[in-house]
């Protein structure tokens, strides 16, 4: 019977800790994922963007809490894929090196030389291990870092794009975790057909359409441009990998008309008027009341990476406050040219995804509550088991009372017994939960192979990998809970034993 009680505690401990670890890990991954691709704090003025961003970045980088800052443009776009499909995407214009300082861009670039196969790739079938045709992985990686690819015609590097590895649909993800380019049948000039892999970073090009907006937010003429694919990224966040395309900052500025230009502005005086922006090369000087002024390049975002502990809410909020202060100084220095400090949007990744994070937090709490409720069964199970053990040991209790054991001693003995059961069940439960959580991905894969069950769909849960870490603090809480539940279950039977009439106990048959 005590083994049954310990088994109940063990199972409940495993259950609660696994759920808490996976859901808590999911939440941590969700919060942490933003930093992988966006940094810690985002300063944004969407659509119109703001100029003098280099000055803002310089000011930010002098701030003790700031490690690095980088310019970024974010806008919607349409992709015309090589197979004729049209697909919408979120286009990010970034400057490779500075973007890599703020985010984990280099780590996310997928096509690069790797020394060891992935854990599950036991046969070493990852193409990154042994090359793919004439592609040099090191060159492909460098192309990704600089967002350029050498032109097949001029031999010169030209602006290129880096789509998420799931964007184009030309990569197949294998259960082992690596990608292989899809193979498609292609008709050759001589009329024959050949099977060719669709490895975009080698020779693939994508036509991108973007809609620049005027300063008043109205769409102006659509711009389109074909970009070679430099590399592809995999952040581990399915949403990013499926929707985002990185483009070189200058190309994005050009396509969205956010690049440097000359602006025709009325001179002050009786003939003066509002400014008129002219495209480069279209300057006219026919009106003496007008003058050409520089209209600097703009970006829609500046992303910031903090120093120290920005993973905590306090850390990221302190960084956000510092960024807001620096922006205030910057706005004062460029008054009239940049959005005021009250208008600009400054937020952390958590702020931006507050609704989703809150939903996951609530879901985690709800699940935890439900499983704790289920775990109450263990308390009642221990109570029932101990109750029947007390009944079975009635005579022994009488004997102990006869040799001088007091009520408190008897109660203490039963509660200690409950504690011992909690200790055994708790230790085994925490160990079991560690085992399950650390191996949850292989277990999930095995379930998928054997029964076709896919519980963790990356399209739903954002991540390819199920979180597999146990927080020691959570383990300690669950362990304490197991101990407490066991003691709680033992209390009533212990009191029954303690207040048993010793004479009746001795006469019990």
Considering the complex, state which of residue 272 and residue 409 has its C-beta at the smaller distance from another protein.
409
CB 34 within 8 A of CB 311: no
Please list, residue by residue across 217-253, b when 16 or more beta carbons sit within 10 angstroms of its beta carbon and e when fewer do. eeeeeeeeeebbbbbbbbbbbbbbbbbbbbbbbbbbb
Q: How far is CA 195 from CA 125, 133, 186, 447, in A?
A: 19, 13, 6, 34
Considering the complex, state which of residue 54 and residue 395 has its C-beta at the smaller distance from another protein.
395
CA–CA distance, 263 with 151 (Å, rounded to integer): 33
Find the shortest distance in angstroms from Cβ 489 to another protein: 21
The residue from 2, 157, 448, 502 that contacts another protein (CB under 8 A) is 502
Q: Two tokens at 27?
A: 């939440």
Binding segment toward another protein, per CB under 8 A, in 3-11, 75-83, 339-347, 392-400: 392-400
Q: Provide the β-strand partners of residue 352.
A: none
Considering the complex, state which of residue 248 and residue 401 has its C-beta at the smaller distance from another protein.
401
Contacts of 49 (CB under 8 A, 6+ apart): 73, 256, 258, 298, 299, 300
Site for another protein in 65-84 (CB under 8 A): none
Work out the angle between the directed axes of helices 2-38 and 407-438 (0-180°, nearest 10).
40
Considering the complex, state which of residue 2 and residue 82 has its C-beta at the smaller distance from another protein.
2
Q: Provide the β-strand partners of residue 454.
A: none
Contacts of 175 (CB under 8 A, 6+ apart): 120, 445, 448, 449
Considering the complex, state which of residue 36 and residue 394 has its C-beta at the smaller distance from another protein.
394
Find the shortest distance in angstroms from Cβ 378 to another protein: 25
CA–CA distance, 391 with 283 (Å, rounded to integer): 101
Find the shortest distance in angstroms from Cβ 392 to another protein: 11
Site for another protein in 96-155 (CB under 8 A): none
Binding segment toward another protein, per CB under 8 A, in 102-110, 247-255, 282-290, 500-508: 500-508
Q: What is the DSSP letter of 448?
A: H
CA–CA distance, 455 with 461 (Å, rounded to integer): 10
Site for another protein in 396-435 (CB under 8 A): 396, 398-407, 409
**Does residue 376 sit in helix, strand or coil?**
helix
Find the shortest distance in angstroms from Cβ 411 to another protein: 13
Q: Two tokens at 374?
A: 């289920």
CA–CA distance, 253 with 198 (Å, rounded to integer): 29
Considering the complex, state which of residue 372 and residue 399 has its C-beta at the smaller distance from another protein.
399
Find the shortest distance in angstroms from Cβ 235 to another protein: 59
**506: contact with another protein by CB under 8 A:** yes
Find the shortest distance in angstroms from Cβ 494 to another protein: 16
Find the shortest distance in angstroms from Cβ 319 to another protein: 54
Considering the complex, state which of residue 31 and residue 498 has its C-beta at the smaller distance from another protein.
498
Find the shortest distance in angstroms from Cβ 384 to another protein: 21
Binding segment toward another protein, per CB under 8 A, in 91-99, 179-187, 259-267, 495-503: 495-503
Residue numbers at the binding site for another protein (CB under 8 A): 395-396, 398-407, 409, 501-503, 506
């Amino acid at each position: 019977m005590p083994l049954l009680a310990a088994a109940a505690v063990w199972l409940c401990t495993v259950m609660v800790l696994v759920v808490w670890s996976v859901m808590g890990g999911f939440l941590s991954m969700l919060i942490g994922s933003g930093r992988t691709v966006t940094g810690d704090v985002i300063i944004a003025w969407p659509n119109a963007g703001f100029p003098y961003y280099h000055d803002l970045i310089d000011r930010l980088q002098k701030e003790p809490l700031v490690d690095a800052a980088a310019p970024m443009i974010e806008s919607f776009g349409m992709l015309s894929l090589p197979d004729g499909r049209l697909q919408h995407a979120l286009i990010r214009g970034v400057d490779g090196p500075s973007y890599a300082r703020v985010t984990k861009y280099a780590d996310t670039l997928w096509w690069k030389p790797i020394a060891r196969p992935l854990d599950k790739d036991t046969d070493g079938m990852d193409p990154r291990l042994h090359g793919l045709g004439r592609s040099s992985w090191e060159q492909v990686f460098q192309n990704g870092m600089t967002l350029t690819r050498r032109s097949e015609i001029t031999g010169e590097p030209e602006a290129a794009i880096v789509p998420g590895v799931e964007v184009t649909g030309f990569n197949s993800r294998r259960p082992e975790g690596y990608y292989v380019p899809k193979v498609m049948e292609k008709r050759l000039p001589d009329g024959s057909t050949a099977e060719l892999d669709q490895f975009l970073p080698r020779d693939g090009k994508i036509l991108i359409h973007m809609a620049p907006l005027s300063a008043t937010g109205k769409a102006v003429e659509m711009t389109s441009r074909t970009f070679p694919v430099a590399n592809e990224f995999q952040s581990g966040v399915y949403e990013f990998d499926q929707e985002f395309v990185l483009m070189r900052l200058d190309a994005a500025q050009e396509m969205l008309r956010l690049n440097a230009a000359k602006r025709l502005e009325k001179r002050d005086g009786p003939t003066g008027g509002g400014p008129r922006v002219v495209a480069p090369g279209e300057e006219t000087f026919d009106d003496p009341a007008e003058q050409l002024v520089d209209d600097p390049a703009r970006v829609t975002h500046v992303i910031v990476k903090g120093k120290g502990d920005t993973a905590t809410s306090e850390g990221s909020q302190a960084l956000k406050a510092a960024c807001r202060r620096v922006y205030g100084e910057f706005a004062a220095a460029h008054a009239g040219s940049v959005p005021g400090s009250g208008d600009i949007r400054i937020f952390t990744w958590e702020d931006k995804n507050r609704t989703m994070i809150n939903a996951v937090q609530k879901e985690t709490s709800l699940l935890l509550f439900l499983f704790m409720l289920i775990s109450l069964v263990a308390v009642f199970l221990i109570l029932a088991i101990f109750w029947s053990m007390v009944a079975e040991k009635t005579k022994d209790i009488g004997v102990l009372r006869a040799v001088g054991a007091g009520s408190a001693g008897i109660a203490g003995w039963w509660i200690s017994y409950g504690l011992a059961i909690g200790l055994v069940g708790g230790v085994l439960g925490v160990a079991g939960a560690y085992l399950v959580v650390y191996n949850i991905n292989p277990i999930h894969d095995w379930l998928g192979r054997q029964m076709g069950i896919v519980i963790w769909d990356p399209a739903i849960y954002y991540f390819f990998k199920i979180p597999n870490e146990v927080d020691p603090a959570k383990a300690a809480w669950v362990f304490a809970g197991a101990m407490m539940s066991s003691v709680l279950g033992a209390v009533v039977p212990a009191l029954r034993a303690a207040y048993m009439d010793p004479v009746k106990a001795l006469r019990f048959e």
